[in-house]
Structure 1
Amino acid sequence: MMAATAGGRLRQRWPAALGVLVAAGTALGLDYGGQAASVVAASGFVYLAAAATGRPGAAWPAFGVTFVLVGLGLAPTGFDPVPWLCVAALGIAIFGFVRAGWRPAWSLPLQSAAMLALGAAALLALKADHVTGGVIVSVALFGHAAWDVWHHRTGRVVVRSLAEFCGVLDVLLGVGVLVVTLTM
């Protein structure tokens, strides 16, 4: 009976467990905190994609796309996903506006504003020195973690599993970025 209960809990908390794994894998690969700027841009893109399509479940496929782009950016390829994510976000916001307009206010308009702020933070972190860039990334991740909690609580825009995953990822990676930044 105890094993079934533990297994049931794990099945319920898989988003948090996945968030721990992705955060650890990302943080362990960082040479400096600003390298995680693409995660900041990706976090805004995922929510915007769900809002623009009007499908909360679209957040997971959007995450899959950003996971590949962020991975390419963290690999020694010279590829920078941040500008690409920002341009793609503009395109998906236009698509969402044409599809459904600006209502409700908590959906596409709010997610567009968040993407604008997160995209700007990511771009600024890329241009800043390593310490400043790391602090910007960390603060943006902590801010987005609060965003995740609000969306998890309200059940709006994205599915709760994505909000839970992203909240755990953002907090743990934010801490990891701070550690990398302050110990370099």
Structure 2
Amino acid sequence: MVDTVEQVERRPWVLRRWPAVAGVAMAAFAAWGMESGADVAPIVTASAFLYLGAAALQRRTAAWPMFAVSFVAVGLGSNVEGFNATWVMLAFAAVLAVYGVIRGALRPPWGLPLQAAALIVLAAAALIAVDANQTVAGVLVAAGLLIHAGWDTYHHRTHRVVAQSMSEFCAVLDTLLALAVLVVTFG
């Protein structure tokens, strides 16, 4: 049963905007104890990884399981010496992309092809940030996150690639985390 607009509007704000609330909480969690933008660089990769996964699987709701995969990868990367979350997500993304191509996900062009290009660009920024000085790392990570926040907003408005709940969550997370990175970098 689908709720009417009136039923949805009567819900408390927190229940209507749960993705935004979750984005605020995740940004606070990710920023806690951050010493440099490089500390959260894999999140830049994760932001694009979610979109590629959903595009490759041709299911907008697949972005949430992709988030779970990226959350585990980023967590391991933060806590296990020698574990590079960005490379792990890129390897998994390559498998997903091949699977998507086999299943015919090359159409529409704003799907898998565009999401793969975005992942390559954002992952490159994340990989460069990890080895850069603190200022360059902060600028690269913040820029990547802010660019992806715009990406999220566009996809939220067009209802493309990922579920709207994911694009809303991700836009809030990316924006707040980018601001936190800039504060740590220049504050």
Work out whether 1:139 is the aligned partner of 2:158.
no
Question: Scaled by the length of structure 1, what TM-score is found?
Answer: 0.93
Counterparts of 1:29-178 in structure 2 under 5 Å?
29-75=33-79, 77-178=81-182
Q: What is the Cα deviation at residue 161 of structure 1? A: 0.2
CA distance in 1, matches of 2:87, 2:9: 45
- What is the RMSD of the two structures over their aligned residues, measured on CA atoms? 1.6
Query: Contact 2:56/2:105 (CA < 8 Å) preserved in 1?
Result: no
Q: Partners of 1:161 and 1:78 in 2: how far apart?
A: 33
Q: Could you list the per-position Cα deviations for residues 149-178 of structure 1 after superposition, in whole angstroms to 9, with x for gaps in the alignment? A: 000000000000000000000000000011
Q: Percent identity over the alignment?
A: 47
TM-score normalized with structure 2 length = 0.91
Separation in 2, partners of 1:147, 1:83: 22
Q: Deviations over 1:24-81 (max 9, x none)?
A: 1111131211111100010111000000000000000000111111122223644221
Q: Which amino acid aligns with 1:65?
A: V
Displacement over 4 Å in runs of 4+: 4-7
- Cα 1:113–1:5 change in 2 (3 A) is closer
Instruction: Count residues in correspondence.
Output: 180
- Structure 2, gaps ≥5 residues long: 1-7
Unaligned runs of 5+ in 1: none
